[in-house]
Amino acid sequence: MTVTEPSYTASRRALLAATGAGALALCLGGCGIGGGSQTTGGNGGSGTTVAVGDVPVGSGIIVGSFVVTQPTEGTFEAFSSRCTHQGLPVQQVTDAAIVCGHHGSTFSLADGSVITGPATQALTAATVTRDGDTLTIS
């Protein structure tokens, strides 16, 4: 006697596969958000670049694995975009703080220090180098 799977099983598998593929495409597509930023590597050096004009004064932006801020005009800072509470990425930079919406931690635009927890350690600082109208973060 031969046992065959009901036809709805194949349809369910196809639906799950399509849903997974769609979710992956959405995630990968989101990695490209950022407009004027670029990640470079290889023999030409490494780092993430962003146009000076893309970083608002008194706020900042999330670029790849970094947060780039301009707490005062002409002063640029950069930090890891990973919250020190549980290593999840921060989601937002406002005119008041770098915000991790997962558990509510906020960090200073100027030095990445904790403003409100549950995080207890500052964001990891990164190096910012300015060359004309371009910032390189590493």
pTM of the model: 0.67
Helices (H), 31-83: none
Position 24, amino acid: L
Residue 30 has pLDDT above 50, yes or no: no
Q: Return the CATH fold of 38-137.
A: Rieske Iron-sulfur Protein (2.102.10)
Residue 13 has pLDDT above 60, yes or no: no
Q: Which two tokens stand for residue 48?
A: 């993430």
Residue 55 has pLDDT above 70, yes or no: yes
46 pLDDT tier (thresholds 50, 70, 90): low
**Residue boundaries of the structural domains of the chain:** 38-137
Q: What is the mean pLDDT of the chain?
A: 77
> To which H or E segment does residue 25 belong?
helix 7-30
| Count of CB atoms situated within 10 Å of the CB of 74 | 8
Identify the residue whose tokens are 């790849």: 64
The whole-number average pLDDT for the span 25-49 is 45
3-state secondary structure of 9: helix
| Count of CB atoms situated within 10 Å of the CB of 73 | 7
113 pLDDT tier (thresholds 50, 70, 90): very high
Measured CA to CA, the distance from residue 20 to residue 35 in angstroms comes to 27
